[in-house]
Amino acid sequence: MAKTLAEKILSAKSGQDAKAGDIVIAQVDVAAFQDGTGPLGVRQLQKMNLEQVKARYSIFFIDHAAPSPRKELSNDHILLRTFAEKTGAILSEVGEGVIHQRLVEAYAKPGDVLIGGDSHSCTSGALGAFATGMGSTDVAIGMALGKTWFKIPETYRINVKNSFKPGVFSKDLILYIIGTLGADGATYKALEFDGEAIDRMSMESRFVLSNMAVEAGAKTGLIASDEVTREYLKKRGREKDWTALSPDDGASYERVVDIDAADLVPQIAFPHTVDNTRTVDQAQDIKIDQAFIGTCTNGRIEDLQIAAKILKGKKVAKKTRLIVCPASRDVYLDAMENGLLEVFVRAGGIIMGPGCGPCVGVHEGVLGDKEVCLSTANRNFKGRMGNPEGYVYLASPATVAYSALKGTISDPREVLGKE
Amino acid sequence: MVLRGKVWKFGDSISTDLICPGRYFHLRSNLPELAKHVLEDADPEFASKMNTGDFVVAGQNFGLGSSREHAPTIIKLAGVSAVLAKSFARIFYRNAINVGLPLLECDTDKISEGDELEIDLATGSIRNKTQNVQLESTPLPKAMLNILNDGGLLAHIQKHGDFKLD
Ligand code: SF4
C-alpha cells in the first residue's frame, strides 16, 4: 500500500503495516520535556515507582523560565536535575536554548518518533520525524517505557508551488495556511508540506512551517527528508543521522491544498487567535509598544540575519522597545560572531539569553495593560505574554524588524521589495 | 456512572492559556493553588462561584494551545465533573482522558448557562433537565475508553504493566 509520511514512519516504528485510522504502539526514539511540563512528568513516574528512561534520547530542557525568575521555579529545576542525574536522562541547562531548536540541532533525525511535553514538538517534523506534542503523563510513560500509542492520522497535503516574492517568508505562508484552514481545521490530522517552494526552502524556513502545524490543530507537520535535510545535518556534524525519506507515490490524502507562493503577501495574525490573519496592508498604522524577535518559531540565525539587515545602522522608533532572543546558544554565538547582536543593540534593542524569553508570559517582557506587542512567536492568545489586557500580533521577523523602526505595523516589502 | 450538576457556559476557542494562564507558571508544582485560577482569563469569577460536580460547557475547539496537562488537571481538581463542547483540541482531549476528566462532544447550542444536566457516562447520553431535551455525545474511541475506565493513564499502566488498548 502506498503510504504517507505519517503512515510510513509509524508502520516502521510499530512493526505493523499500518494505515490512517489504525491504533499502533510505536517505539519512542526521542522523549523530551521542558521545565513547565517536566516536573509533573517526573512526579508521575515517582508515583509509579518507574524512575527509568528507555527512549534513545530522554531529555529535559530548562528553557521556559531560564534563568529562573522565582524560587518555586528554581525548585522545579532542581527536581529535573536530580531526576536526570538519577536516571541518566540528558539535561539541557539554562542557556542552551529552546527545546524545539535544540531538538532539531542535536537530537531528532529523519524517521524518528519524537514525543515532547510541549505542543510545538511538531517542529522536528521538518526533519522527517513523526514529532508531536503530548501532556506530561503521556511523555513520562513514553520516556520510561520507550514506547507510546498513536492513532495514525489522516494527512492533508499542502502543495506550495513557485517561490516567494521579496519580503515574503515561510512565516507568512504558515500564517496564511492557518488563516485558511482555521485553528481547528486540521485537528487530529498530519500536515505534509510539499512542492517547489518547500524543495527550495532552507531547513530554518521549513522549521517554521512544522512548528506552527499545531496552530491549525494538527498532530504533526511533516516534510520529506532530502538533500537540504542532509546538508543541515552535515553542517551540524550529524550527516550519519541522515536518511532519505519521502511519501510514496499514490499515497492517499484526505485533502490537498494548493498554494501559489508567488501570490502571497506578508501576513499578520491579529489578537487573540492565530487564525485571525490579515494581510499587512490591513494592519498599517497599528502602534506597537514592543517588538519581539525570537522563539522556537523564528529565533534562528536566518531570522536574526534578515532582522539585522533591516535594522543595520538605524534606530527603533522612540516609543517602541525591541527584544531579541536567540533560540539557542549556537544561534547566539553565530549571531555574535557575525556582528548581528551589535546591530540590534546599536539599534536600541536588548538581547535576552537563549530560551523562550517573553513568549509565554513568565518573565522578560510582560506586557502592560492595553500594550501591543508585534512578535515572531507562534501564539497570540489572550494572556499569552503575561497579561490578559495586552495584545499580541504575529508576523515574520522582517515585518517585526521593519515595524520596530516605524513604530507601527509596517510592510517590509517597502525595503526588501526593491531588491 | 451518572453525573448531575449545573452548567457554566463558555464560548469557542477556550485556550489552555485561558484555562491555566502562563503567568501562574510558578504554581505548576502547587496544583491546589493553581486550581484556584482555573479558567480565570475566560471568567475571573469562575473558580469562586462554581460548585463541585458542575459542568463546563463550551463551543468549538476547547483546550486549544499548549500541551500543559495542568489545564485538564485543574479543571478536575476544581471539582468540575465533565467538560462538554462541540469539539476539543487534540492534545487537551488526550490529556483529559489521561487524568480521568470526562469529556463529551455534543451539540452544546442546546445547553444554556445555569441548566441542570444529568449525564450517563457509560452511554454518553445527556439529559438537559431544565430544557427537557435529550442529547447524545460522540462515543470515545475504545483505546481511550479503556484508559478512562482504568482511572487514567497512570492507573492503566500500573494495572497492566503496559498499554492494553484493545
Ligand atoms: S519559545 Fe514559546 S512557543 Fe516555543 S517552546 Fe518556548 S514558550 Fe513555547
| Average pLDDT rounded to a whole number, residues B102-114 | 96
Domain edge (last residue) among A216, A235, A261: A261
| Residues A57/A107, Cβ–Cβ less than 8 Å | yes
State the DSSP string of A276-306. Answer: -EEEGGGSTT-B-SEEEEEHHHH-SHHHHHH
Set out the domains of chain B in order of their start, with CATH numbers: 2-160 (3.20.19.10)
Q: For residues A216 and A322, state if they share a domain.
A: no
| Residues A100/A297, Cβ–Cβ less than 8 Å | no
Q: For residues A214 and A278, state if they share a domain.
A: no
pTM: 0.96
Q: For residues A279 and A308, state if they share a domain.
A: yes
With contacts defined as CB-CB under 8 Å, which chain B residues touch A145? 157, 162
Contact A184 B28 (CB under 8 A): no
Any CB–CB contact under 8 A between B19 and chain A?
A: no
Q: Enumerate the H helices of A56-157 as residue ranges.
A: 71-87, 99-102, 136-145
CA of A169 to the centre of ligand 1 (A): 20
> Smallest CA–CA separation between B44 and chain A, in Å?
11
Contact B91 A25 (CB under 8 A): no
Number of independent structural domains in chain A: 2
Q: Of ligand 1's atoms, which has the minimum distance to the CA of residue A360? A: 7
Q: In which band, very low, low, confident or very high, does the pLDDT at B139 lie, cut at 50, 70 and 90?
A: confident
What pLDDT digit, counting tens, does each position of A167-221 carry? 999 999 999 999 999 999 999 999 999 999 999 999 999 999 999 999 999 999 9
> Smallest CA–CA separation between A287 and chain B, in Å?
24
> Smallest CA–CA separation between B118 and chain A, in Å?
29
What is the extent of the structural domain holding A333?
267-416
Q: For residues A154 and A198, state if they share a domain.
A: yes
Q: Which three cell numbers stand for residue A222?
A: 511533516
- The number of C-alpha atoms within 13 Å of B44 and in the hemisphere containing its C-beta is 3
Q: Of ligand 1's atoms, which has the minimum distance to the CA of residue A36? A: 7
Q: For residues A86 and A153, state if they share a domain.
A: yes
Q: For residues A248 and A324, state if they share a domain.
A: no
The ipTM of this complex is: 0.94
Q: For residues A401 and A252, state if they share a domain.
A: no
Q: For residues A150 and A245, state if they share a domain.
A: yes
Q: For residues A213 and A173, state if they share a domain.
A: yes
Any CB–CB contact under 8 A between A36 and chain B?
A: yes
Residues in chain B: 166
Domain edge (last residue) among A197, A228, A261: A261
Average pLDDT over chain B, rounded to whole?
Answer: 95
What pLDDT digit, counting tens, does each position of B11-49 carry? 999 999 999 998 999 999 999 999 999 999 999 999 999
Q: For residues A304 and A167, state if they share a domain.
A: no
Which chain A residue is nearest to residue B166, measuring alpha carbons?
Answer: A23
Residues with C-beta less than 6 Å from any ligand 1 atom: A 64, 98-100, 118, 120, 295-296, 356, 359-360, 377-378
Q: For residues A118 and A192, state if they share a domain.
A: yes
- Residue A21: what are its φ and ψ, rounded to 5°? 100, -25
What is chain A's pLDDT, residue by residue, as a tens digit (419 residues)? Answer: 999 999 999 999 999 999 999 999 999 999 999 999 999 999 999 999 999 999 999 999 999 999 999 999 999 999 999 999 999 999 999 999 999 999 999 999 999 999 999 999 999 999 999 999 999 999 999 999 999 999 999 999 999 999 999 999 999 999 999 999 999 999 999 999 999 999 999 999 999 999 999 999 999 999 999 999 999 999 999 999 999 999 999 999 999 999 999 999 999 999 999 999 999 999 999 999 999 999 999 999 999 999 999 999 999 999 999 999 999 999 999 999 999 999 999 999 999 999 999 999 999 999 999 999 999 999 999 999 999 999 999 999 999 999 999 999 999 999 997 65
> Based on the number of CB atoms within 10 Å of its own CB, is A71 exposed (0-12), middle (13-18) or buried (19 or more)?
exposed
Q: Which of B26, B143, B166 sits opposite A73 (nearest CB)?
A: B26
Find the CATH number of the domain harbouring A239. 3.30.499.10
Domain edge (last residue) among A219, A238, A261: A261
Q: For residues A110 and A217, state if they share a domain.
A: yes
Type and span of the H or E element at B126: strand B125-128
